A and B are shown apart, each in its own frame.
Chain A
Amino acid sequence: MWAGTVTFPGHEGAELEAYLARPLSEEPRGGVVVIHHLPGYDEATKEITRKFASRGFAAVCPNLFSREGRDVSPDDQAAAARAKGGVPDEQVVGDVAAAAGYLNSLDHANGKIGVIGYCSGGRQAFLVACSLRIDAAVDCYGGYVVKSTPPDSTIKMPSLLAKTPDLSCPLLGLFGAEDQAPSPEEVATLAAELDKHGKEYEFHSYDGAGHAFFAVDRPAYRPAAATDGWKKVFGFFGRHLAA
Chain B
Amino acid sequence: MCTYITEKFECDGAGKGASGWFTLREGRVYVDHPYHAGYEHTVNIDFVNPAEGPSARVAVELTEEAALALVDAIHKALAAAPPGLASAKGR
Check A193 for interface membership: any CB of B closer than 8 A: no
- Interface 9-residue window, one of A23-31, A67-75, A162-170: A67-75
* B39 with A219: CB separation less than 8 A: yes
In chain A, positions 197-217 with a C-beta closer than 8 Å to chain B are 210-212
Q: Decide: A38 near B6, CB < 8 A? Known: A68-B54, A69-B53, A220-B40.
A: no
Contact A211:B57 (CB < 8 A) given known A37-B33, A75-B35, A218-B40: no
For A50-84 the 0/1 string (1 means CB < 8 A from B) is: 00000000000000000011011101111110110
Cβ B1 vs Cβ A72 within 8 A = no
Do B59 and A75 touch across chains, with their CB atoms under 8 A apart?
yes
**B4 adjacent to chain A (CB < 8 Å):** yes
Interface-lining segment among A101-109, A125-133, A150-158, A223-231: A150-158
What B residues does A210 contact at CB under 8 A?
40
Which of A76, A82, A212 meets B6, CB within 8 Å? A82
Question: Does A94 have its Cβ within 8 Å of any Cβ on chain B?
Answer: no
Instruction: Render B45-80 as a binary contact track against A, CB cut-off 8 A, 1 for contact.
Output: 010101001110101000000000000000000000
- How distant is A72 from chain B, measured CB to nearest CB, in Å? 5
Residues of B within 8 A of A218 (CB): 33, 38, 40
Residues of B within 8 A of A76 (CB): 54-55, 57
Taking A75-B59, A80-B54, A83-B6 as contacts, is the C-beta distance between A211 and B35 under 8 angstroms? no
Contact B4 A212 (CB under 8 A): no
C-alpha gap A42/B8 in the complex (Å): 25
In the complex, residue of chain A having the shortest beta-carbon distance to the beta carbon of B17: A76
Per-residue interface assignment for chain B, residues 2 to 20, with 1 indicating a CB less than 8 Å from any chain A CB and 0 otherwise: 1111101000000000100
Interface residues of A (CB under 8 A from B): 37-40, 42, 68-69, 71-73, 75-80, 82-83, 86, 119-120, 143-144, 149-150, 152-155, 157, 179-181, 210-212, 218-220
Known: A83-B28, A83-B48. 17 other contacts (CB 8 A): A39-B33, A69-B53, A72-B54, A75-B35, A75-B36, A76-B55, A79-B28, A79-B46, A83-B6, A86-B4, A144-B4, A154-B6, A154-B30, A155-B6, A157-B4, A211-B40, A212-B33
